[in-house]
Amino acid sequence: MEDLHSSNYSSTAILTEEVQTEEPVANPLPRAVLRMNNHVLLDGTWRFAHDDADVGLSEEWAMGHNYEHTAQWPGSVEEHLAQARGQQGTAAWHDQVVVWYEREFNLPELDEPQARSMMQLTFGACGYETRVWLNGQQLKTIEGEDVHFGEYTSFTYELDESNLHLVNRLTVRIADTMDAETPRGKQESHVYKRGGIWYQTYTGAVRSVWLEVVERNRLRSRVGVVSIVEDQLVRFNMTLRIHDPGHYTIRLQVYDPQTPDRTAPLATSDFPLYLEPGQWQQRLVLEVPSAELWSPEAPHRYRLVAQLIDSDGYEAQIETLFGLRKIESRGRYVYLNNEAVYLDGILYQPGQATFEEMQRHMHAMKALGCNLVRVHIAGVDPRIYNLADELGLLLWVEVPSPHSSTPRSRENHRAELLRLVTLSETHPSIIIWSLYNEDWGAQDIATNPETRQYIIDMYHFMQISYPQFLVVDNDGWHHISSRGRMKSDLLTAHLYTPDLTRWQELLDRLVGGEMDGTAAFPLVVGDPFFYRRQVPLVVSEWGGFGFPDYGGPQDAESRTNSIRAFKQELRSRPIAGDVYTQATNIEDERNGLIDPHTGELSVPTGLLASRQMQYLK
């Protein structure tokens, strides 16, 4: 396995406290883009208090408070509350929760002055509602938020030198509710209660927090990649953070990651520009001659070195790996790099799995013969995306859904989508985004024109802003037709039956273009839609064998035989792909093929694989 992260060194100021001197074997930070510095992880033991009466703000706990408990960060509010209350096996909170964390950290020594640099504090993920104080002074995120909303993506604070001491006190307040209007995925809410397919909440301080030195004028740790494979062009979408106005040059260099010598890039180009203070987005295009494309069979990647160079020649640098690939929905099939590909998928719900367990799951899904993993309405550690890039696994990712359909839920949904997609558009493995699933958070999609218009608008936004992805409007059924045109790049259906004859009947009706009577609800709403094989069909959920609500075989041998028989029926029809449900057991859903802890398979390897072209007829 190639180690992208071994070059996590500093070319400018270095943090000398708490940093390992040996070369790291992996990057512990949940992000795709490397910054050329060391970091101080603030993980570990924090002081902890639960604020059941929600008085911490009015009583100014951030100025000083007597904390009765401790908690390990990262970790969930649920486990921290249970430990503090001496509870086991009971629900940690209902309705709403407010908790506080605090710790000290020493100001790291720097081996050169901070004239060009500043301290930056980043939370890998925390929420749903997070406020942060440094030495009693409330911080604002780089985006200017006093309160950060969202629990699935990272957010960052620049630390004012005037508020930094030799010993610093960091205070964090986290609040969450079971509000059905917030993006929740399959966590319980006031609408969907824990049990069956709805899970216990898992929120709070769920990923690492770290301190690092960054340049005042720099490229941020987010890079969008769009390939024009026919012309060997790559469009990089860069985000710049500027404090000092002036003339700058962005220099892009592309290297083969297998070549240790960086003196001869495969491609390089300079882009001079004048920048005012603020945060800016800039599109840059680079030709990469003789580029090899990324695919599941050959997940070839290149290394991008991007530098922001000021008028004095000072270089602020970031790095990332990327791949050139094109995904397209055309006619009956999905095309990867202009070749038809059958999507052998599996539904993946990681739940509370550790990063190490998720790594084992990814390797196991590859061993099953899958080329696609549908990460089901969950925010995962971004390092999993890196692993998918490396293994050659296509990813279908989804916005964690709200549980009610209101103007506020749509506003929250849009904000969550933008946070997620902004920090994940580096990865060639991610090919599909779902906006909604089975009407969750869009329950009135069939009757409310406002709900449909919102989804239509977001579909068009994604098409224009993120053309490197396919977009599904509402997975499973109730796709939107406007003037006879689908507002989804795939026509998907969730079909559950344990009976093979019924399965054959449903598939025949599906490929025959029957929009009613196949899935649980009509496949299309809005204006009339006439299929005529003009859009790829994907059975995006099927199986569920072993889960009581779906029936089917219980033991491994009969389950294997049923999967083979059901899969063969899919392969023999003009269907573009399928997603078996599911990879691992999770809470009440006992229908997995992979041990959630060890990653061992309960069925033969290669069970879900197809010979790609044989079935593209």
Can you spell out the DSSP letters for 454-500? HHHHHHHHHHHH-TTSEEEEEETS-EEEETTEESSSSEEEE---S-H
| pLDDT value of residue 264 | 86
Q: How far is CA 523 from the centre of its chain?
A: 27
| pLDDT value of residue 21 | 28
| pLDDT value of residue 86 | 86
Average pLDDT over residues 393-403: 97
What number does CATH give the domain 218-322?
2.60.40.10
How buried is residue 442: exposed, middle or buried, by Cβ count under 10 Å (0-12/13-18/19+)? buried
Cα–Cα distance between 493 and 516 in angstroms, integer? 11
3-state secondary structure 273-304: EEECCEEEEEEEEEECCCCCCECCCCECCEEE
| pLDDT value of residue 111 | 61
| pLDDT value of residue 214 | 95
pLDDT at 7 over 80: no
Count CA atoms within 13 Å of residue 452 on its CB side: 18
Annotation: CATH topology of 327-594 = TIM Barrel (3.20.20)
pTM: 0.94
According to DSSP, the residues that pair with 472 across neighbouring strands are 434
In the structure, what pLDDT confidence band is assigned to residue 344 with cuts at 50, 70 and 90? very high
According to DSSP, the residues that pair with 533 across neighbouring strands are none
Q: What is the pLDDT of residues 17-53, one digit of tens each?
A: 333 323 333 456 888 898 888 889 999 999 999 999 9
Q: What is the pLDDT of residues 162-215, one digit of tens each?
A: 999 999 999 999 999 999 999 999 999 999 999 999 999 999 999 999 999 999
Count CA atoms within 13 Å of residue 327 on its CB side: 28
For the chain, what is the mean pLDDT?
92
Amino acid (one-letter) located at 256: D
Q: Which CATH number fits domain 33-215: 2.60.120.260, 2.40.420.20, 2.30.30.40, 3.30.465.10?
A: 2.60.120.260
In the structure, what pLDDT confidence band is assigned to residue 259 with cuts at 50, 70 and 90? confident
70 vs 262, higher pLDDT: 70
Domain boundaries, the chain: 33-215, 218-322, 327-594
Please answer whether residues 208 and 74 qualify as being in contact, where contact means their C-beta atoms are separated by less than 8 angstroms: yes
| pLDDT value of residue 112 | 58
Q: What is the pLDDT of residues 58-88, one digit of tens each?
A: 999 999 999 999 999 999 999 999 999 888 7
pLDDT at 154 over 90: yes
Prior bond of 183 cis (ω within 30°):
no
Q: What is the pLDDT of residues 519-564, one digit of tens each?
A: 999 999 999 999 999 999 999 999 999 888 888 888 899 999 999 9
Tokens representing 192 are 């969907």
108 vs 315, higher pLDDT: 315
- Kind of pairing between the strands at 537-543 and 491-494: parallel
